[in-house]
Amino acid sequence: MTDFQTIPPYQGGEVTDDRALVTLTSEESKRLIAKGIAALPVVQKAMERGTIGFCICSSAKYVAEELLGEPLPAFAHYLCGFVSSRGLFALPDEKASKQLVLVKGKAVWLDWPKENLTKYVKTMGADDVIIKSGNVLDPNRKAGTLVGLSNGGEYGKYLPYILARGITLIAPMTLNKSVNYPLDEIMLEMGITKISPQRAHGEPCGMLPLPGLVFTESDALQTLCRVRAIPVAIGGIGDGRGTVALLLLGEEKNVDHAWRLIESIKGEPPLEVPASETLYGLNTGEGNRP
């Protein structure tokens, strides 16, 4: 058993003598979550003695930066697919980023997609970590990720090893990905061949589960500051789209710590949407909006 399950559920009875109300954009949430993941004992242990693999996804980029203590190089834009107002899209391989692995804290850059984490996951175990975010978080804290390839894409290559070898999977999940629908039912209804390209905004997709530690903004604040963080609003308009509002509860010193931490994160730059000509899924089907 690994020691990553360090976030105790709320039992009631804790001292709550202070409150604060904060908002986080999607990018600010990703930064906060990354700071919390970087502080987890299993991650610190893997940094010292093991291997940490970062799947190609935007949330993994933030975790990598927190562990390295610096921004990723320009060649590592760390994005393979995303959701936009136009639909669900994927970057073609030639537009892909290099992939990062930390081996005992040392950065190893792989020439993705020619190289990937497969050669590492074959020998990884419970004391090693893979970081992979998802697209949906259900009421039971089960997370799922969209896949646009029949073989499950990049993550599909690793999933059998994660399950068979007991590798620690950590899924950074912003609360704005929450849905009031069971993941098991969502996955059954999804599928590349079940959805016509002419009836899809972008690419038809399937979905795979993320069987690991789901880690949200609330978990990060519990880990880093020992406060409860209750989501009280999700979504907004303009530059507030995807923003989550959190009510912080706890001892005054802890709430103050959380307040100062969040203030230091405010202003995290927004992620840029790739140019449309670099995308897969932008076909001429009826489902694509201009």
Question: Per residue in 72-85, pLDDT tens?
Answer: 887 677 888 888 88
Supply 210's token pair. 């993320």
- Cα–Cα distance between 155 and 146 in angstroms, integer? 10
Instruction: Give the integer Cα–Cα distance in Å for 206 and 149.
Output: 8
Residue 215: name the closest of 105, 131, 152, 99 by CA: 131
Q: Of 15, 17, 24, which is closest to residue 246 (Cα–Cα)?
A: 24
Other residues' Cβ atoms within 10 Å of the Cβ of residue 174: 24
- pLDDT for the residue 288: 41
Residue 33 pLDDT greater than 80, yes or no: yes
Domain boundaries, the chain: 30-216
> With pLDDT > 90 as the criterion, what percentage of the chain qualifies?
74
Average pLDDT score over residue span 44-57: 97
Cα separation, 9 vs 90, whole angstroms: 36
Average pLDDT over residues 170-189: 98
Q: Which amino acid is at 173?
A: M
Tens-digit pLDDT profile for residues 139-161? 999 999 999 999 999 999 999 99
Give the three-state DSSP class for 20: strand
Q: pLDDT per residue over 209-225, tens digit each? A: 999 999 999 999 999 99
Least Cα distance to 32 among 259, 221, 255 occurs for 221
155: Cα within 13 Å, side-chain hemisphere:
26
